[in-house]
Chains A and B, each alone.
Chain A
């Protein structure tokens, strides 16, 4: 029986060094900060692609966002996907996690049979880690979080996964299909490709993904709210219980210590600090 997997992803502002822009009041200038595919989702895509390489799965990628999220769809395609789905509609805008999970769950039902859904641990912009688990709960399917590795029994339709519990326990679990997995990002999930055949398949898929990424529209379906069998009142701002009341810049810290500024290029100043450190640590019997 065929295996259908789905990756959920989101386009987020790129907060990496040098990319992020600020307004004069020190809050983030989202409009001027370029967007990118959420970094944790790229990690989750490795796990989704693993199902394609090792078990011949069909790999779909789904995102909800503005039409510009096509950029993220292209990024996802450059790592390979069979089909791309973008949920895009004014009615879906400004959704919180509950409204997002609702919309995603309705779109997933429209896809037909999906065996495994992969999601990143959390997005770089909201950092809530809620959307994946809430989507699973709304679909009524098993949820396995913080996955660090997995194997499939496609005959019996069972997944055996290892997950990291509160960062200190590895738990081996077993679950029937369909299931939703959130993929651990710390340390980043890394599939193991032991055989030459697997590595060759992966190489071909990545090359094919790069090729497809230049014609991403050929593989992309855009769904509006009306195309989902869903209650429109549960989407977007209308369906979002939470509201951001205010955003403030991080306040400046008041001086608490009488800081002595020394010249880090001056050898005498450096020597003074070196003496101070060694004396201090000797007094405390650390050196």
Chain B
């Protein structure tokens, strides 16, 4: 039997800064392991891994945020994220033994569910040949799970199993994934799911440098140029947001146009529910690229917003959507179904067809604005 301990966290950094989600994962890892240690009277640690160039100072930051042991590899070749060398180095660090590590495999392994984090979680777990759940936002430990694989003769009981919960199927369901009989039990974590610990310089930890010397073949994919895009849509500071959902399905082009006009009239911006962002609506490509995009998506897997006024146009209001907008000061929704979940967290719900209601509302707001102005 391999020896197994500790919770490991891949700490993603960008331009010399740990991503917020890295700190959030540390907070959750700390809580999980402290609880497990207490319940089982053991002393397992939170172990971090940071890769990059000039990342030494980040190790201290990780310690201030709750890591016990942090490994880093520092090399100009690693300045920007590169899947193959990063994967190989993490695999090497996990397998090596040193003055701290005297066991075979990590118990758990957390990665951020960013694009890079998802990619590397997949390759690292292929390298370590264990299981991975993606895009999780709730973790807890369970004992006594019974399971039998088809080829096994007897039912086995598994303990200290990490239950990894994720919103699934475009937000229709919650799935809880477990990894049984393989280590590490790994998952990627949706940014914003957990609270980081407050920074505390009194926290102590161990820093271990990993001197990477990799075969040339891991550097086969060469980066030629990098160019920053400026297409990011930041709705987090918008004072007014008009979001539309799948209620626009009968005439998506018109639904988007009305939402846009309403937003313009109120000096606001346009958001979209996940359902609508992913819907295969037949609209002009430029409209699609600008509005039916995850870049404008509000909710658990999109942006979290808190405007003064949030208008939900044809949004039924799944819990994922709620998590992205329920801090809005005033929420007004327009929906044909007055009992839609969105009614549970709206201040006002206009019952009716948005294609009739919104044009009337536009007219009346226009009139009001003129009145007030005069």
- Alpha-carbon gap, A286 to B239, bound state (A): 7
Assess the A243–B178 pair: CB atoms within 8 A. yes
Which of A98, A166, A243, A286 contacts B180 (CB under 8 A)?
Answer: A243
Given A20-B172, A143-B84, check contact A264 B356 (CB 8 Å). Answer: yes
Given A133-B122, A143-B84, A146-B115, check contact A287 B171 (CB 8 Å). Answer: no
Question: What is the number of contacts between chain A and chain B, taking CB atoms within 8 Å?
Answer: 297
Q: Which residues of A contact B139 (CB under 8 A)?
A: none
Which of A166, A172, A247 contacts B223 (CB under 8 A)?
Answer: A172
Q: Is A120 an interface residue (CB 8 A)?
A: no
Given A130-B132, A274-B364, check contact A244 B177 (CB 8 Å). Answer: yes
Which of B118, B121, B364 contacts A271 (CB under 8 A)?
Answer: B364
Which of B14, B266, B289, B309 contacts A187 (CB under 8 A)?
Answer: B289
- Taking the closest CB of chain B, its distance from the CB of A93, in whole angstroms, is 9
Assess the B293–A267 pair: CB atoms within 8 A. no
Which of A142, A165, A242 contacts B179 (CB under 8 A)?
Answer: A242
Assess the A98–B126 pair: CB atoms within 8 A. yes
- Taking the closest CB of chain A, its distance from the CB of B317, in whole angstroms, is 7
The chain A residue with its CB closest to the CB of B183 is A241
Assess the B121–A245 pair: CB atoms within 8 A. no
Interface window among A69-77, A106-114, A213-221, A254-262: A254-262
Q: Which residues of A contact B308 (CB under 8 A)?
A: 280-281, 284, 286
Interface window among B35-43, B44-52, B99-107, B143-151: B143-151
Assess the A137–B352 pair: CB atoms within 8 A. no
Which of B134, B221, B343, B353 contacts A129 (CB under 8 A)?
Answer: B134
The chain B residue with its CB closest to the CB of A190 is B285
- Alpha-carbon gap, A159 to B225, bound state (A): 15
Q: How large is the interface on B (under 10, 10 to 19, 20 to 34, 35 or more residues)?
A: 35 or more
DSSP class of A's interface residues: helix, strand, loop or mixed?
mixed
Assess the B223–A286 pair: CB atoms within 8 A. no
Q: Is B224 an interface residue (CB 8 A)?
A: yes
Within 8 A of B (CB), among A257-278: 257-265, 267, 269-271, 273-278
Given A166-B114, A167-B232, check contact A260 B175 (CB 8 Å). Answer: no
- Alpha-carbon gap, A175 to B224, bound state (A): 10
List A residues at the B interface (Cβ < 8 Å): 15-17, 20, 22, 27-28, 39, 96-98, 101, 124-125, 127-134, 136-138, 142-146, 160, 164-176, 179, 186-187, 233, 236-238, 240-265, 267, 269-271, 273-278, 280-282, 284, 286-287
Q: What are 28 inter-chain pairs, A to B, with CB distance below 8 A?
A: A16-B279, A16-B280, A98-B131, A130-B125, A132-B122, A134-B123, A142-B220, A146-B115, A164-B229, A165-B226, A167-B229, A167-B295, A168-B229, A168-B232, A171-B226, A174-B221, A175-B220, A187-B293, A242-B131, A243-B147, A247-B168, A253-B317, A253-B322, A259-B347, A262-B351, A264-B357, A270-B360, A277-B266
List B residues at the A interface (Cβ < 8 Å): 14, 80-81, 83-84, 87, 114-116, 118-119, 121-123, 125-127, 129-135, 145, 147, 149-151, 163, 167-182, 220-229, 231-232, 239-240, 246, 249, 266-268, 279-280, 288-289, 293-295, 308-309, 317-320, 322, 326, 330-332, 334, 338, 341, 343-354, 356-357, 360-361, 364-365, 367-369, 372
